[in-house]
Chains A and B, each alone.
Chain A
Amino acid sequence: MERVAVIGVGMTQFARERPAETAADLVFEACTRALEDARLSIEDVDVVITGSNDFFDGRTISSMAVMDACGSYDKNVSTVEGDGTFGAAHALMRVLAGWGTVLYCAHHKGSESVMPLITNAMFDPIFERFLGIEAVTSAALQARAYMDRWGLDEETLALVSVKNHGNAFRNPVAQLPLETTVEDVMGSPYIADPLKRLDCAPVTDGAAAVILADREHARSAGSRAVRVRGVGYSCDAFHLGDRDLADPSALRDAAARAYRGAAIDDPARQIDLAEVSEVFGYMELMWCEGLGLCGPGEAGEMTASGRTARDGDIPVNVSGGCLSANPVLVSGLNRVIECVLQVRGEAGEHQVEGVRTAVAQGFNGPCGQSQCVWVLGGEE
């Protein structure tokens, strides 16, 4: 792939409610931080891309409402409705199309709407929606299928929640650091069996932004530019009944494409750190397997052995992950940004020693229907 780098990143503080800021205020905060990080001003940006969702924002063409806040006047602008990993992939394509410097921002104010009503509306209006299914109950179907496939118990799934909520203590922008145990997770109320409250990501307000640039424009960032080595995406069937819910096949495909670009043939050995979109604890296990960080069915054991812990040989979600802050759409972008910070060695208190190659994963749709993978950093 042509040389493209992430030259600036910015995240807001993530919180259950940020009533003092409108979505546009959050976007301005994230964009300003990304520009500062890149040592650029808004005049240096050629293209602006926004990420938003009309249902979540409660307004038609929600992207237009944040255009002022991301400095898009007179600029080449486009919008992406979907997870931040996909929005950032669109930014990457704009750079590859010859635009030197591209700013992408995404926002989410979960506090302003009612999550189950909105996620219910992603299902088919003729055959599925009126049954009352939504994000948590559909994820529970996948969690059950995955547990059945590999004979896992709920305690194993709970390990992800314990690890990631604990990791969040070292991440100043995380929303939900929690000192918790497997017993605490098991004792939290069931929302949809086998998922309990502490297996599920919180509702979050916040925004994030990244700046991507081609080789020439990345020069100003010097050693702080983190190279995009490979990006891949892939999609599975829409109807849950058409899919093998226990098999992350779309992620495996997406990862294979990203790894081809990055010349990675042994991900478990060549990847130093992963940030995955575990909106529910079990997802981290499935996504680790889909990314090839371990074999199929092995992620529970890998987690139990501590290998994905902060001091393990392949730390996963040292930021605290989505379980510790889940601004929908922004979440995938946060994974990319966390990988960038880790490769730069600037992740602060949650920095892991010697991260050279990191992988970020995000998804769209029920039960991870559509998957996107980024490989960042690494050798020249």
Chain B
Amino acid sequence: MTEDWRDSQEILVMDGRIKVPYAWSAGEVGTTYLESLRDAERFLGTRCPVCGIVYHLPRMHCPDCFEACPEWVELESTGTLVTWTIARRPHPALSPLAPPFGFGVIRLDGADTGFLHLLYGFGVGSLRSGMRVEAVFARERTGSILDVSHFRPSREVV
């Protein structure tokens, strides 16, 4: 009986990496939106003329009605935390933040839909669904979603 050649084999592994530059268009709606964050610290949504839903993130077309949404709506920088998590594992390639920090779906005042953003700069143990949060804008703004640095518990007086 001959010994199977595979039994004593050490497997070679080729290390590599795929690195391809991209330049993603933010589109007309995305550009208007990001410019407003950068230049005016103002969130914008779009309203569907048929169902009346105010979308934030804004979009060109209502996915429910399949109609154009040409109307811009100014939104507040405060909102409600719809759901949240606390990231516990560092992923340096994905985020410069050191855990623990939060991700949340936030529904801004004046909008009907939520959007994803970061929650940190406070004890993330206090995170609760339904809590009031407010945006903290970055000092240096470049026309990116990170012109909003993060959200924190709202300091508004009820």
Contact = CB atoms under 8 A, between A and B. Distances in A.
B57 A20 contact: no
9 contacts: A58-B18, A117-B91, A125-B22, A125-B24, A127-B57, A137-B103, A141-B84, A141-B103, A242-B114
A192 B95 CA distance: 15
A295 interface: no
Contacts, number: 116
Nearest to B84: A144
B6 A20 contact: yes
Looking at A58, A114, A126, A145, the one whose CB has the most chain B CB atoms below 10 A away is A126
Contacts of B16: 58
Given A133-B103, A141-B104, A193-B86, 8 more contacts: A117-B93, A126-B145, A141-B105, A143-B85, A144-B84, A191-B88, A237-B63, A242-B55
Nearest to B115: A241
B65 interface: no
Contacts of B30: 126-127
A245 interface: yes
A246 B138 CA distance: 32
Contacts of A192: 85-89, 103
A241 B30 CA distance: 16
B11 A20 contact: yes
B60 to A, nearest CB: 13
Contact of B145 (A131, A141, A189, A193): A131
A128 interface: yes
Contacts of A351: none
Contacts of A195: 85
B129 to A, nearest CB: 5
Interface in B110-158: 113-118, 129, 144-146
Contacts of B116: 123, 127-128, 131, 133, 239-241
Interface string A133-147: 110111011111100
B75 interface: no
A145 B82 contact: yes
A350 B22 CA distance: 48
Contacts of B95: 131-132
Main DSSP-derived SS at the A contact region? mixed
B115 A127 contact: yes
Contact of A245 (B83, B93, B106): B83
Interface of A: 19-20, 58, 114, 116-117, 120, 123, 125-128, 130-134, 136-138, 140-145, 148, 189-195, 237, 239-242, 245
A351 to B, nearest CB: 33
Looking at B13, B55, B145, the one whose CB has the most chain A CB atoms below 10 A away is B145
A339 to B, nearest CB: 32
B103 A148 contact: no
Given A120-B94, A137-B103, A241 B87 contact: no
Nearest to A242: B113
A239 B111 CA distance: 15
A114 B30 CA distance: 30
Interface in B41-96: 55-57, 63, 82-89, 91, 93-95
Contacts of B83: 141-142, 144-145, 148, 245
A127 B9 contact: no
